[in-house]
Every structure is written in C-alpha cells, then in structure tokens.
Amino acid sequence: MLDVITIGDATLDTFIDCESSSHAVSVDQKTNKLCFELGEKIGIKSLHKKVAGNAANVAVGVSRLGMSSGFWTILGDDAFSKEVVKKMKDEKVSTKYVQFQKNSESNYTVVLNFSGERTQLTYRLPRVYDLPNNLEKSKFVYLTAMGENHQMAYGELLKYLVTKHALLAYNPGGYQITCKEKICNDLLPFTNILFVNVEEAEMIIHGKSKGNHSHKLLPQKTIKTILKELHQLGPDTVVVTDGPRGSYALSDNHFYHMPIKQGPLIERTGAGDSYASGFLSAVIHGKTCQEAMMWGTINSWSVVQHIGPIDGLMYEAQMKKLVKSMRPKPVMM
C-alpha cells in the first residue's frame, strides 16, 4: 500500500530571472502589474528548466519525507515526458500509473522572476483525464491542478476513495475552482485536508477573489471567517496559506496561525506545494496539526531558497532536526 498517490498535471517550467533588465522591466505598485517596455530586446540574468507541476512536486516532497508515493498524470509523447519519468524514478516515486497521450506535446510554464515574486505564463494541452481503474490502495490521495476536462476523473476518484478507504487531500487548481459545474465544491464533503491560499479560498466561498493580498494584512477575524466558511463546505481540516504572513489552519474546532520561517528568498514557485507535502507527511507520521504546520513551514522556507519547486524540498532527517529547534511555533487564534 502506498502512503500517497498524487493526481494532477506535470509541466516543464522555464525560470527566467528578469533582474538584470530592471531598466526595461518594472512593477506598477498601484496595480501590482509586472511591466515590460514594448518592442524592447530585453536581456535576462539567468534561465533554468525544471520538471514541475503540483502533483509532481508533492509526490517528490512526500517521498523525501519518508512516504511511499505514486504519481498519476497524463504526459505528451515528446522528449520532456521522458525527463518527468526519469526525475520521478530518481526521487523514488512510482510511475507505473503515468499515461502518455499520443501526438501531443507536454505542458509548459514560463516563470518570470522579479524581486523574488513570480509571474507564470502557462500552456496546457487538452487531456483525456480517464483515471486508471487499477490504482492500488493508498492512505491518501492528493488531488491537485488539472486542465480542462478534469471533471472526467472525479466520478472514478470518488469510487476509489470509498472502495479503498483512502483519505483525500485536496488542492484545487484554477480550472477546478472556476468551472461552471462547481465540481470543486462537490468534492469538499469528501475532503480530509483542504489546502488553498487566501485568493483561492475567496474564489471557492464567494465565486471571486476580493483582490490581491500581497501587501494587505487581513484581520484575524476575517481569516477565522474564511476558515469556518470553508470548513462548513465539508473538509475536516482546512489549511489556508497567505504568503509572507504564514499559514492558518482549522482542525478539531481549533484555529491556528503559523508565521513563516525567515530566510533568504530566491524564488517562490512551489512554496504552496512544499508546504502541503510537509503538512501531509507529518499527518501520516501521526503528528498533530501544529506539528504539521511546522513541517509545512520549514519545507516552504527551504524551497524558496532555490530555483524551482523541487530542489529545496527537505529530507526526513533534515526535517526532524529542524523541527526540534523551530521558533516561533504555531499559536492558537
């Protein structure tokens, strides 16, 4: 039996550091928009290509933290698909459920890094999300971002959860949250742990976000309301991340806040996935919600010090050592 099977898309991420082109690249502070001078030939500081995607990131993250993990995704039949499979095997992630779509390219993302923040340009190919009927038993399924037609897999997933007695950790992507059928909400009553950021939380609750929160500190009362409203939709445990303001959780009728662990910031891609893989691994290890928040925070702190979502993921021995000295710790709200 596997500890975790992750379900979602994989991508090839190209990371572009725009810092050396600051004369032609800027941020409009009023609108929070990244701006390029039209028609300019803009030099870049660095370029890196990495295997990525939410499901891939979490599969590797939990594997490094001592879990057995498998990975279901649909890849194209180009050269990149081989890179994904090799990377997963190198990280001790089972790839026996990976499928390939003939005559199709892989998904790509261009990540523009400027002043530590990232702007993502995504290219997703149409997929036929037909969940394999031979998935082995697992303790948790981690369901995350997929493209259009993601609805196809959900009926089979619900059958799997019931017949295999697996728990669901859910991190819905943009397509799931905004789809007209509201299938995202239909899965919430079957969800054991929900992972979302503040903007995603507001989209689920209100159908729209109240705006960018990158420079806005939400009152504790507002955060509690968000956690309670998500909990009322069905999840047992709700985890909401809020960038530099840390993370919040509602579990067993208790509210918790965990500040971020301060450290160097290179690039934020994968911060949410690394938090989720740390939190989920701690839960499977039998840790409390507060301890799980510490695992998630440390994992995220490590990842943002590297380019890409995988290189900085912690290993189990490293994690256990850092948790012992962790300051500050989560506090009840």
Q: Which helix (H) or strand (E) covers residue 26, if one does?
A: strand 25-28
| 28 domain residue, yes or no | no
Task: Of 180, 185, 178, 182, give the one whose Cα is nearest residue 199.
Answer: 178
> CB burial class (10 A; 0-12, 13-18, 19+) of residue 299?
buried
Position 27 scores a pLDDT of 87
> Beta-carbon neighbour count of residue 183 at 10 Å?
16
In the prediction, which pLDDT does 322 show? 97
Q: Is 27 part of a structural domain of the chain?
A: no
Residue 34 domain flag: no
Residues 6+ apart with CB under 8 A from 30: none
Q: Has residue 37 been placed in a domain?
A: no
pLDDT of residue 212: 54
Output the domain CATH number for residue 92.
3.40.1190.20
Query: Where in 158-307 does DSSP place strands (E)?
Result: 167-170, 193-197, 237-241, 247-251, 254-258
Share in percent of the chain as helix, strand, coil (round to 5): 35, 25, 40
Which helix (H) or strand (E) is 292 found in, with range? helix 289-303
Vertex 196: Cα angle to 49 and 251 (nearest 5) = 135
Contacts of 177 (CB under 8 A, 6+ apart): 184, 200, 203, 204
- Domain membership of residue 174 (yes or no) is yes
Domains in the chain: how many in total?
1
Q: Which domain holds residue 270?
A: 2-19+45-332
Please state the φ and ψ torsions of residue 225, each to the nearest 5 degrees. -65, -40
- Structural domain contains residue 40: no
| C-beta atoms surrounding 298 within 10 Å | 22
Q: Is 87 helix (H, G, I), strand (E, B) or coil?
A: helix
Residue 31 lies in a domain: no
Task: Please report the beta strands in 236-295, taking only residues with DSSP state E, as ranges in sequence order.
Answer: 237-241, 247-251, 254-258
Return per-residue pLDDT of the chain as tens, 333 residues: 999 999 999 999 999 988 765 678 888 888 889 898 888 888 888 899 999 999 999 999 999 999 999 999 999 999 889 999 999 999 999 999 999 999 898 898 999 988 778 899 998 888 888 888 889 999 999 999 888 778 778 888 999 999 999 999 999 988 888 887 677 788 899 999 999 999 999 999 988 766 554 556 788 889 999 999 999 999 999 999 999 999 999 999 999 999 999 999 998 899 999 999 999 999 999 999 999 999 999 999 999 999 999 999 999 999 999 999 998 899 998
| pLDDT score at 307 | 92
Q: From CA 308, how far away is CA 322, in angstroms rounded?
A: 22
Residue 35 placed within a domain: no
Task: Give the global pTM.
Answer: 0.93
Residues 6+ apart with CB under 8 A from 170: 142, 143, 144, 187, 188, 191, 193, 194, 195, 235
- In the three-class reduction of DSSP (H, G, I as helix; E, B as strand; rest coil), residue 298 is classed as helix
